[in-house]
């Protein structure tokens, strides 16, 4: 087994999620390869450390970083993909916590080159985040969405993350979960209210359109009325959505 392959599978290996054969191959490689062994020992220790985190404060400036992600999405093959396994029960944004460790891991544990590492850090952070988000499966992301809210915080960064997920995640079920969580905040948070109204113009999937309309009308959001009407009049809108929209618009006084 080659070093690249081992490094990529290390998180899963530590997590015990690999099959017998691969486990044996990785074990053999680590026993014989000093550089990989070093990485393994550090990753193991680090993960034990982060595993003890209960609540993690999403870092500031996250909205910008998320928005930049959308641009980075088309990023090239230079991106090294790190698979973040599911046992980190927090949303992808919290990968920032990796900090200097991550830099060392990615550049191949040459810790002497600190300046280079630091300079690469910003770029790598985003790539890690991108990789993390990209590699989470639908169910994992739903778990992340609910875990985030379970921390009890409803600050701006959290809302931004949820709105981003609501508007751009490729998985419809994940977007529904984000909407579910956000709808609980609609009456207490004006930003949420506005973002949900805005989301009406973004969503194209019938499930989301109907759910959004339902949330907005049940919460008596009058400002959404126009947008809902537009949806019901638009030719391209799915029939189910149109009917629902028409019925709901009547209930908005």
Q: Where are the alpha helices (DSSP H) in the chain?
A: 3-15, 20-32, 34-50, 62-72, 99-107, 114-135, 138-150, 156-168, 172-183, 190-202, 206-218, 225-233, 239-251
Strand, coil or helix: what is 226?
helix
- How many whole angstroms separate alpha carbon 164 and alpha carbon 175? 9
Among 238, 246, 249, 252, binds another protein (CB under 8 A): 238
Shortest distance (Å) from residue 207 CB to another protein = 5
At residue 65's C-alpha, the angle toward residues 61 and 69, to 5°, is 170
Query: Which member of 14, 18, 72, 249 binds another protein (CB under 8 A)?
Result: 18
Residue ranges in 173-212 that form contacts with another protein under rule CB under 8 A: 173-174, 176-177, 180, 183-184, 205-207, 210-211
Tokens for 171, please give them.
Answer: 């998985």
3-state secondary structure of 12: helix
Question: What is the C-alpha separation between 137 and 145, in angstroms, rounded?
Answer: 12
Find the binder of another protein among 138, 153, 167, 202 (CB under 8 A): 138
Per-residue binding string, another protein, 68-107, x by CB under 8 A, is: ---------x-x-x-x--x---------------------
Name the segment binding another protein (CB under 8 A); options: 158-166, 170-178, 190-198, 225-233: 170-178
Part of the chain binding another protein (CB under 8 A), chosen from 3-11, 36-44, 58-66, 113-121: 3-11
Q: Which of 1, 14, 22, 246 binds another protein (CB under 8 A)?
A: 22
Q: Does 38 bind another protein (CB under 8 A)?
A: no
Whether the Cβ atoms of residue 36 and residue 7 lie closer than 8 Å to each other: yes
Q: What is the largest CA-CA distance in the chain?
A: 73
Residues at the interface with another protein (CB under 8 A): 5, 8-9, 12, 17-19, 21-22, 77, 79, 81, 83, 86, 134-135, 137-140, 142-143, 146, 171-174, 176-177, 180, 183-184, 205-207, 210-211, 214-215, 218, 238, 240, 244
């Amino acid at each position: 087994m080659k070093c690249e392959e081992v490094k990529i599978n290390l998180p899963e290996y530590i997590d015990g999620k690999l099959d017998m054969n691969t486990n044996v191959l990785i074990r053999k490689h680590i026993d014989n390869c000093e550089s990989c062994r070093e990485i393994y020992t550090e990753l193991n220790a680090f993960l034990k450390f982060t595993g003890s985190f209960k609540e993690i404060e999403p870092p500031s400036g996250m909205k910008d970083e998320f928005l930049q992600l959308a641009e980075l999405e088309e990023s090239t093959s230079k991106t090294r993909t790190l698979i973040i396994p599911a046992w980190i029960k927090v949303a992808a944004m919290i990968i920032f916590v990796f900090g200097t460790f991550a830099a060392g891991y990615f550049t191949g544990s040459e810790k002497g080159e600190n300046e280079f590492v630091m300079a690469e850090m910003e770029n790598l952070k985003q790539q890690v985040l991108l990789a993390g988000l990209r590699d989470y499966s639908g169910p994992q992301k739903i778990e992340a969405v609910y875990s985030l809210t379970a921390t009890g915080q409803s600050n701006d960064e959290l809302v931004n993350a949820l709105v981003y997920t609501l508007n751009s995640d490729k998985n419809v079920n994940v977007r529904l979960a984000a909407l579910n969580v956000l709808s609980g905040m609609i009456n207490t948070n004006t930003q949420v209210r506005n973002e949900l109204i805005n989301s009406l113009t973004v969503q194209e999937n019938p499930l989301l359109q109907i759910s959004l309309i339902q949330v907005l009308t049940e919460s008596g959001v009058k400002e959404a009325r126009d947008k809902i009407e537009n949806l019901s009049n638009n030719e391209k809108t799915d029939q189910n959505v149109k009917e629902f929209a028409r019925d709901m618009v009547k209930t908005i006084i």
